[in-house]
Amino acid sequence: MKFFVDSANVEDIREMAATGLIDGVTTNPTFVAKSGRPILELIGEICAAVEGPVSAEVAATSTDEMIREGLILGSVAPNVAIKLPLTWDGLKACKVLTASHGLMVNVTLCFSANQALMAAKAGATFVSPFVGRLDDLNIDGLELIHEIRAIYDNYDALQTEILCASVRTPNHVKAVALAGADVVTLPPEVFPKLVEHPLTEKGLAAFMADWEAGGQSIEAPEPAVPGIKLDRGAGKA
C-alpha cells in the first residue's frame, strides 16, 4: 500500500519525504488557506520535495472553470494530481483532464460505492473515500472500502486507485490495508504511531541493558601496520 502525507506544510513534507517511506502528498483548500501562501508557489515547492503525486484541489464548482483551474495547476509540475469534487460537474471535468490532457486526477469527497464507480468510469487516477467522516455519522467507513474494492476487482477496465482519506488512527490504517486500499493519506503526526508498540520498547530496553552489562562495543578494526605482512605459514615445518 502507498502512503501519502496529508499536509501543505512544506517543512513537514520534506521531513517525511526524507524517510523514504512517503509515496505522495494530498492537500486541500483548507490546508492551503491556512498556509497563507499563493497556491501555485506552494504546490511547486511540495512537488519539488516529493517524487510521487501531489494532489492540488481546484476551487471552482462548474465544469468549465474546473478544467481551466485544473490546467493551471497541472502546469506547475508533472507530478501534480488535480483534485476534483465528486459531483456531476467534477466527473465531466475529470474526463476531459484525463482523456484529453493526460493529467492525473484525484476525485475527492467520495461517500458511496456508486460515486466511486462513476469516478472510475470518468477515468479518475484516484478516488478518495472519507472513512473517518462516515464513522463520525455512525456509518461504517470501512465497509465502503470493501465495497469499492469488490466493484473495482470485478472489472479489469477500472484502473482507479482507492485513496483512503480521513484516516485518523493506526487501527484505521490496518483496517483499510486489509480491505485492499491502494493508498492511505495520513496527517504527519499519525505516521510515528504506526511503529509504536510497548513490547518493542520493552524488548529494546532489555537488549540495551544486557549489552551494556556485557561491556560490548561495535568498533571498526584497527588498520594493519603499513609495510608489515602477516605470514600465516610461519612456524610450520
Spell out the per-residue pLDDT of the chain, length 237, in tens: 999 999 999 999 999 999 999 999 999 999 999 999 999 999 999 999 999 999 999 999 999 999 999 999 999 999 999 999 999 999 999 999 999 999 999 999 999 999 999 999 999 999 999 998 998 899 899 999 999 999 999 999 999 999 999 998 999 999 999 999 999 999 999 999 999 999 999 999 999 999 999 998 998 887 766 666 656 555 444
pLDDT at 149: 98
Residues taking part in catalysis: 83
Phi/psi-derived region of residue 227, left when phi > 0, alpha when psi is between -120 and 50, beta in every other case: left
Does some domain include residue 72? yes
3-state SS, residue 101 = coil
Which residues constitute the domain of residue 131?
2-195
Alpha-carbon span 109 to 181, nearest angstrom: 16
Does some domain include residue 208? no
pLDDT at 224: 66
Does some domain include residue 55? yes
pLDDT at 237: 44
Q: What is the number of domains present in the chain? A: 1
pLDDT at 226: 67
Does some domain include residue 13? yes
Does some domain include residue 11? yes
Does some domain include residue 92? yes
pLDDT at 222: 78
Contact 9, 37 (CB under 8 A): no
Give me 127's grid cell: 478516488
Contact 151, 113 (CB under 8 A): yes
pLDDT at 175: 95
The CA-atom distances, in angstroms, between 193 and each of 138, 177, 199 are: 25, 16, 14
Does some domain include residue 191? yes
Task: Write down the H helix ranges in 75-189.
Answer: 88-99, 113-121, 131-136, 141-154, 170-178
The CATH number covering residue 91 comes to: 3.20.20.70
